Structure formats: structure tokens, C-alpha cells
Amino acid sequence: MSILVIGGLILLCTLVVKLNKSAKSNAQNRSRRIPSKPYVKGLPLPAQLGLHPTYPLQGIAKQLDTAFEKEFGDRLKSRFLLKRPLLRPEEFDWQLLELKRYFVLTTLLREVPMFSDDIDEIWHEMLLYSREYEAFCKAFAGEVIHHAPHSEPAPNPNGRAWFDWVYCQLFEVTPYSIYIWKNFFRTPLDQQQLKEFQTTDHAQLLPKYFTTNPNVRETAIRLIDTLREQMNNTTRPAYTKRYTHPSMLVGATSAFVFFSLYEADGFQDEMHQMLYGRKHDPNSSSCGSGFVCATSSDDSTKTSSCSSSSCNSSSCSSSSCGSSCGGSS
């Protein structure tokens, strides 16, 4: 066999190996794809944090905005953009909206894991203004919203599913919401939690899942009743209904609950077909800015380095996440 033939075979084998590696890499990248970043310049932010009028949290939203403007105003934005010069000012505004929504959730839910590193970064910056942060929290929530550190991000699919359901009940979902929280409805709600909400009375559920803040009690009761109503609906959702815009996602929470309760094994396929009209393909690159695009390699259910908890917990201390129990700036 001539040297030329041998060289050609070696070159061919090298090309085949490179093509296989490239195909594998592309498949992995597609499986990890997150929604594309929406263009937000010139788009108005939702009024009153985009709260759905079904839930009486408008007073909470107003308190939050008043307290934030008094203690931080434009200072936080200016300082943050100096550190992140590539971040557009209007994009910061949309990220701050999501942080404010997160703070509203902390007044309502006993535990609120943080599922966005971008949002958590702004929270960290707020903590550097320790006196202002403490004053803001007390004016808004009556107590300091503790930023509890963890050693490393950990998978939390049950916490993420509960977060998704409550978030989509309370707020208008925007394309930026989908981008910053990396889609919704990836994993089913926890079966044990669903059974609790079916069989346990309000008096036991309220202290277990919700805070004791009297300003959110009515909302907590309505959430319990809504989840029960959705669980009592044993009719399979019709695939003919499409949720063509993010703001319609609240209507998909019933399907989310149904498939969590009755189709947990095939949850991803069922939810994907509900929202897109087709079965979920983990090798598809057509996630776009859709609602669900999950795979086993997706890290969207991991809790960020920190989460919120009450400042009177034993874990309240200074750390790399900041000291949220007061101090001087």
C-alpha cells in the first residue's frame, strides 16, 4: 500500500473522529440550551410588578416600591452598572423587577430558594448597603429578609416546581421572566406536597408553607384553594389550547398540576405537547423563548448559592453572601 493511500486513510479517520466529537458537543449544547435573551429596550415594565388582580398583594407591591426608592433610589443601579458595564441600563430595570417579585414571594412563602444567579447578584449588591438594606426590609416586610448562604448550588426540583406554580399564579410572565428564570414547568410538583394540599386543612398548611405576615394571609388561603380546585379537576387538559404568549402562562398552571398528579412519569412530554403541540425532543435546538425546554442535564432546578429565610433563624450570620441582619455600611 502506497504512502499516499495510507496518508489518505489517516486523514479520513481523523476527520471522522472530529465530526463525531463535534456532533456530540452540539447535542450537549442543544440539551443545555436556555431561552434566548429578549430585546427589552423601550418596553414598559409591568405596572405594580405585573401582579394578577386575583390576589390582593397590591399593597405589598406599593410598600416595596416606596421603601426601595427611599433607601436605594438610583444609587444601586449606578453602582451595579459600574461593575457590569456590558449590562444595558434597561436590562438592569427588568432584572430589578424580578428581584422585587422575589422579595414579594419572601413575604408570602416560608422558603423561597433563589434560582437565578443574575438576580442573586443584584441582591448581593444591595447587601453591601447594610444599614439601608435593613431599613428597606423593615419598612417593606417588617423584618430583615435574610440572605442565607449555602456551600454550593444543589438540585432542588421540588422547590423549583413549587416556585414555578406560585410565581405563575401571582405574576404576569414576560419573555424576560422566562429568560432570567430559565423557563418554567420543567419538573412536576411533589406528589407528597400535592397530597398534603388535598387532605390537610388550612390551619395546618398555612404555617407550614406560608409566612405569618397578616398582609398576605388572604393570598395564601386563595392559593391553597386554587391548588385544590386544580387538583380536583380530573379532566385531561385539551392539547388544542395553546399558550402563545408568556402572559397566558397562568392558564397553563392547571395543566401543570394535572400532569404532576396523574402523568408524573411522562411529565415533560405532556407539558411540552400542551405548550407547543409536539412531544419534547431533548436534541431539539428550537427552545427559543418558550416555557419549557428541560433535559436531564438542565441546571435550572438548582438553587443558587443563597436563598431567603427569616432573620430570626439560627443560620443568620455574616458570610460571603453578606450580613443581612444589620451592621454598618
Whether residue 214 has pLDDT greater than 60: yes
Q: Which pLDDT does position 314 carry in this prediction? A: 34
Write down the domain spans for the chain.
45-153+305-329, 154-303
pLDDT of residue 299: 64
Relative to beta strand 302-303, strand 154-155 is antiparallel
**Who's near 83: CB < 8 A, 6+ residues apart?**
125
Highest mean pLDDT among 26-40, 137-151, 155-169, 280-294: 155-169
Q: What is the pLDDT of residue 236?
A: 86
% of the chain surpassing 70 pLDDT: 69
46 versus 152: the higher-pLDDT residue is 46
- DSSP state for residue 73 in the 8-state scheme: T
Q: Is residue 257 very low, low, confident or very high in pLDDT (cuts 50, 70, 90)?
A: very high
All 3 cell numbers of residue 168?
405563575
Chain segment 37-91, per-residue pLDDT in tens? 888 889 999 999 999 999 999 999 999 999 999 999 999 999 999 999 999 999 9
Q: 153 versus 260: which is more confidently predicted?
A: 260
pLDDT mean across residues, the chain = 80
Burial 181-213 (b: 16+ CB within 10 A, else e): bbbbbbbbbbeebbeebeeeeeeebbeebbbeb
